[in-house]
Amino acid sequence: MIKISNIKMPISYNDADIIKYICKKLKIKAKHIISFDLLKRSLDARKKDDIKYILSVKVKLNIDENLVLKHIKTNYISAYFEEKYQYITENNSDQKVVIIGSGPAGLFCAYTLIKCGIKPIIIERGEKAEDRIKSVNKFFECGILNLQSNIQFGEGGAGTFSDGKLNTGIKDKRIKLVLEIFVKFGAPKEILYDQKPHIGTDILRNVVINFREYIENNGGKFFFNTQFTDFFSEKSRIKSVTVLKDGIKSQIDCDSLVLAIGHSARDTFYKLFENKINLKQKPFAVGVRIEHKQELINRIQYGYEYNNSNLPVADYKTAVHLPNGRSVYTFCMCPGGYVVGAASEQNRVVVNGMSNFKRDNENANSALLVNVLPADFKSDFPLAGIEFQRKIEENAYNVSNNYFAPYQTVGSFVFGKSVNSNINPTYKPGVTECDLNIIFPEFITNSLKEGILLIDRKLKGFADENAILTAPETRSSSPVRIIRNSEFMTDTVLGVFPCGEGAGYAGGITSAAVDGIKVAEAVLKYK
């Protein structure tokens, strides 16, 4: 095939426009094109009066492609070769593998093992997706928190109730495979080529169910409502795990144990610490969810074109560096989305964001975070970051003595003004207006105030006094790293494989999925 990149198209382009462009650049007629597929699509909105799409395509011809390329004199046109992921075929199919957690790391690890002949057991403390949705909605509507099945715990992991964002900063050959597998299980095809792919929480929930059914139909087993509580090793090799279901403990034998536990499995981190697994403090970030009218974000990014039906709702991603050495940055921006309750422990408040695939709610929201360093904990205890998070979450709960989240307008928080905001907070089960300075340490609030003003220089209107700040966002990443060696195992117990975001080796759905595949490859090589 032939690859053509840097194709500039109007925002109202169609397939006929692309075919016309291909014919012109390759000096061929349309009858010579068998097919073309998008490889990449990005939106260039730097010039508000000339917003356009930038495309890359692969083209299949019914004539000799080498002869066509011979007469091309540009770096934007070249031969294209597709590289397919090769699953490991030589393995011990009798190996007993237990995976803790059914988030993207656990699911992709299980999928890879299934493709290579191993039938893993997946332990999930939360509910299967169908039941988990009911528990989450009950929390939204009534403030009744299921401590074992919520936005953090349950089939699909925390990402199931998010925007389903798949863009990532890592570079890895497995990323394409991850996107293809998502499409296989029901994700929209656009994720294969959009620069900022997303699935949306509404579609992702069904994708997760299809994922599970494939694994089960091919010999894998899921145990839901089942909590991993301990493990047993012999001569420094993993032998079994202890699980708890309906108040009854039982043992499951295993040769390999994958810890895809997620960033909120705090009790599990403490159990690993008790069992002498090497843990390390790591940097993370805390802050708020900032909520604007989506119409404002569209206008900031698109100018007068913001109401063009051919444009997606606008998003943003930005960071600023402060004189005090801190960074303030936006994370997991949810266009047309909702701020949601993401608590997983009693008497603690946590917020997050999610969007449906269409991103059609009237508000936009994003995490607005300040980086937190191990030095801020003032402790050498490996789990000090967890206690740092807990203190903030408890402060938030105590504002209203329930799971209503504290909020404040930007006008009040930054400018000291009383503002009757025109933005309705979307957080459920509800909000309580308060002074956010009582929630966070001073270095967090001072950094947020300064950061909002600096970001406003880049995104004029970001510091809109009507904008709503809902607190606290504390679970953007894991505060702990489970140390693993070059073979992806812990040094203290052979056959234990830390995996994904909770273990400290990923930072989102795609990178967690990639790490799940890498860990599966390591498991397959382990003897």
Q: Using CA atoms, how far apart are residues 4 and 25, in angstroms rounded to an integer?
A: 9
Confidence of residue 89 (pLDDT cuts 50, 70, 90): confident
> If you compute the radius of gyration of the chain from its CA atoms, what whole number of angstroms results?
24
Q: Using CA atoms, how far apart are residues 306 and 286, in angstroms rounded to an integer?
A: 31
* Mean pLDDT, rounded, for 426-444: 96
CATH number at residue 25: 3.30.70.2700
Task: Burial-class residue 257 by CB neighbours within 10 Å (0-12, 13-18, 19+).
Answer: buried
- Of 82-96, 398-412, 439-453, 475-489, which range is least confident? 82-96
Task: Specify if 308 maps to a domain.
Answer: yes
Q: Which residues contact 450 (CB under 8 A, 6 or more apart)?
A: 322, 328
Indicate the pairing of strand 363-372 with strand 284-293.
antiparallel
Q: Using CA atoms, how far apart are residues 469 and 455, in angstroms rounded to an integer?
A: 15
* Mean pLDDT, rounded, for 329-358: 97
Confidence of residue 74 (pLDDT cuts 50, 70, 90): confident
Question: Could you read off the pLDDT of 252-271 as tens digits, one per residue?
Answer: 999 999 999 999 999 999 99
Q: Which of 437, 452, 473 is the last residue of a domain?
A: 473
Please state, for a pLDDT cut of 90, what percent of the chain lies above it: 92
Is pLDDT above 80 for 504? yes
Is pLDDT above 80 for 308? no
> Would you tell me how many other CB atoms lie within 10 Å of the CB of residue 426?
21
Question: Could you read off the pLDDT of 278-289 as tens digits, one per residue?
Answer: 999 999 999 999
Q: Give the pLDDT of residue 90.
A: 67
Q: Which residues contact 236 (CB under 8 A, 6 or more apart)?
A: 492, 493, 494
Please state, for a pLDDT cut of 70, what percent of the chain lies above it: 99
Q: Using CA atoms, how far apart are residues 194 and 200, in angstroms rounded to an integer?
A: 14
How many structural domains are present in the chain?
Answer: 3
Q: Give the pLDDT of residue 245.
A: 97
Q: Using CA atoms, how far apart are residues 111 and 117, in angstroms rounded to an integer?
A: 10
**Residues 339, 289: contact at Cβ < 8 Å?**
yes
Task: Specify if 85 maps to a domain.
Answer: no
Is pLDDT above 70 for 9? yes
* Mean pLDDT, rounded, for 237-244: 97
Q: Which of 432, 456, 473 is the last residue of a domain?
A: 473
**Residues 471, 406: contact at Cβ < 8 Å?**
yes
E strand segments, 294-345? 319-321, 327-334, 338-341
Residues 464 and 507 occupy one common structural domain? no
The average confidence (pLDDT) of the chain is: 95
Task: Specify if 55 maps to a domain.
Answer: yes
CA angle, residues 295, 300, 304, in degrees to nearest 5: 80
Residues 463 and 325 occupy one common structural domain? yes
Residues 103 and 181 occupy one common structural domain? yes
Helices (H) and strands (E) in the chain, counts: 12, 23
Residues 183 and 104 occupy one common structural domain? yes
- The residue among 347, 354, 433 whose CA lies nearest residue 393 is 347
Residues 272 and 291 occupy one common structural domain? no
Q: Give the pLDDT of residue 305.
A: 67
Which 3 state secondary structure label does DSSP give 289?
strand
**Residues 115, 87: contact at Cβ < 8 Å?**
yes
Is pLDDT above 90 for 304? no
DSSP-assigned letter for residue 314:
P
Is pLDDT above 80 for 390? yes
Is pLDDT above 70 for 91? no
Which 3 state secondary structure label does DSSP give 398?
helix
Q: Give the pLDDT of residue 427.
A: 97
Q: Give the pLDDT of residue 253.
A: 97
Residues 456 and 335 occupy one common structural domain? yes
Task: Specify if 87 maps to a domain.
Answer: no
**Residues 26, 18: contact at Cβ < 8 Å?**
no
Residues 294 and 197 occupy one common structural domain? no
* Mean pLDDT, rounded, for 183-206: 96
List the structure tokens of 355: 């969007």
Residues 341 and 415 occupy one common structural domain? yes
Task: Specify if 328 maps to a domain.
Answer: yes
Residue with tokens 């789990």: 383
List the structure tokens of 436: 């956010």
Question: Could you read off the pLDDT of 470-495 as tens digits, one per residue?
Answer: 999 999 999 999 999 999 999 999 99
Task: Specify if 90 maps to a domain.
Answer: no
Confidence of residue 79 (pLDDT cuts 50, 70, 90): very high
**Residues 396, 404: contact at Cβ < 8 Å?**
no
Q: Using CA atoms, how far apart are residues 309 and 249, in angstroms rounded to an integer?
A: 56
Q: Is the previous residue joined to 312 through a cis bond, with omega within 30 degrees of 0?
A: no
- The residue among 259, 263, 266, 262 whose CA lies nearest residue 286 is 263
Q: Using CA atoms, how far apart are residues 523 and 420, in angstroms rounded to an integer?
A: 57
* Mean pLDDT, rounded, for 347-373: 97
* Mean pLDDT, rounded, for 429-439: 96
Task: Burial-class residue 224 by CB neighbours within 10 Å (0-12, 13-18, 19+).
Answer: buried
Question: Could you read off the pLDDT of 144-191 as tens digits, one per residue?
Answer: 999 999 999 999 999 999 999 999 989 999 999 999 999 999 999 999
Residues 314 and 273 occupy one common structural domain? no
Task: Specify if 88 maps to a domain.
Answer: no
DSSP line for 131-193? HHHHHHHHHHHH----SSSSSSSSTT-GGGGS--B---S---THHHHHHHHHHHTT--GGGGT
- The Cα-based distances of 24 to 33, 72, 75, 151 in angstroms read 12, 11, 16, 51
Task: Specify if 260 maps to a domain.
Answer: yes
Confidence of residue 82 (pLDDT cuts 50, 70, 90): confident
Is pLDDT above 70 for 16? yes
Residues 490 and 418 occupy one common structural domain? no
Name the β-bridge partners of 340.
352, 428
Q: Give the pLDDT of residue 270.
A: 97
Residues 488 and 446 occupy one common structural domain? no
Q: Which of 451, 473, 495 is the last residue of a domain?
A: 473
Residues 258 and 295 occupy one common structural domain? no
Is pLDDT above 70 for 129? yes
Which 3 state secondary structure label does DSSP give 135?
helix
Range of the domain at 462: 283-473
First to last CA, the chain: 41
